[in-house]
Amino acid sequence: MYPSEQSHQVGRRSSVAACDGTTLAVREFGHPNAPLTVVFVHGHCLRMQSWTDLRQQLEQTWGEDVRIVMYDHRGHGESSAASPESYTIDRLGEDLADVIRAVVPSGPFVVIGHSMGGMTALSYARHNPDAIGSRLIGVGLIATSAGGITDDGLGHCLAHPAVSAFRAAVRRAPRLMSGAKKLSRGVCAPIVRTAGYGSRRVSPRVITLATAMLGDTSIVTMAAFLEAFRGLDEIAGLAVLASIPALVLCGSDDLMTPMRHSETIAAHLPEARLVRVAQAGHMVILERATEVAEAVVELAAAARAAHVRDLALAR
């Protein structure tokens, strides 16, 4: 069990079968018949527990008014592993669609994605334009990118030939490389601290939580998604989200997906609220959960108001 997660806070557990048979672990919080559902989608090498601090704050504000749904990506957390060939952003977008069909079959919903989860939300939107405005009424894109991730920041390292060699080694000998992951856990903490957090002091508990999630992720999963990041290009698809309220949030000290990525996304979404969290890094949802929660609450309120207005105009 991860820090801050108590047995009475794990939510209602279920599983969803993705279209290729992969089992996705899901948890729900709040009233099953709440008028709005917010779906949270975590980042690369994390798991749904990365939302724990944020969720606890949101539950205090929303009460029974909003249902919270979160799940683990394929190859992450409690979800099952799958073929490395399926570790793509488009497949993650399909997984999100499968979760929504199974767990949110009706009613309006908002999607909040962090890092790779934001990329997943963009892929879902591009492939499901009919849902936007009718079902998907708001989107939150946190510390993420729509493309060009190798141009700057630590993402620039993805273009290095050593990364291709690393991925090739994992493909050739996944069991051997999985064993090597144990040797790397000793350096996870400093990597997480440097790449994930900003210039303010961060709680040791937060570092422990992020390091544990990273250390539990299969190196096969870790490596297989690297190519997906290199080829990411969701810029053209952003236009489909222009009609609904959006939150674009990033830490000023984010080294993984620097602020310019969020600025690019916001430039394509004229009605989006762009939030810059000073001195925060890529793991802004952990280190600055209170500020992120406030922004998410505001997004949900704006989405509900716009949806009610649209329904009234349609009558």
- Domain interval for residue 67: 7-314
- Quickly list DSSP for 229-248: HHT-B-TGGGGGGTTS-EEE
Does residue 180 belong to any structural domain of this protein? yes
Distance CA 109, CA 287 (A): 26
Strand partners, 111: 39, 139
> What pLDDT is attached to residue 315?
79
Q: Which residues contact 153 (CB under 8 A, 6 or more apart)?
A: 254, 255, 256, 257, 258
DSSP-H helix ranges across the chain: 52-62, 89-103, 116-127, 161-172, 174-184, 188-196, 204-216, 219-224, 226-230, 259-267, 284-287, 289-314
Question: How many independent structural domains does the chain possess?
Answer: 1
> What pLDDT is attached to residue 2?
47
Kindly report the pTM of this predicted structure: 0.86
CATH number at residue 232: 3.40.50.1820
> What pLDDT is attached to residue 186?
42
Does residue 231 belong to any structural domain of this protein? yes
Does residue 18 belong to any structural domain of this protein? yes
> What pLDDT is attached to residue 116?
95
Does residue 2 belong to any structural domain of this protein? no
> What pLDDT is attached to residue 196?
55
Regarding beta strands 66-71 and 23-29, do their DSSP bridges make them parallel or antiparallel, or are they unpaired? antiparallel
> What pLDDT is attached to residue 190?
46
* Residues of the chain with confidence (pLDDT) below 70: 1-9, 153-216
> What pLDDT is attached to residue 294?
98
Does residue 1 belong to any structural domain of this protein? no
pLDDT digits (tens, 9 = 90+) for 18-42: 999 999 999 999 999 999 999 999 9
pLDDT digits (tens, 9 = 90+) for 143-180: 999 998 877 765 655 554 545 555 455 555 555 445 44
Regarding beta strands 23-29 and 12-17, do their DSSP bridges make them parallel or antiparallel, or are they unpaired? antiparallel
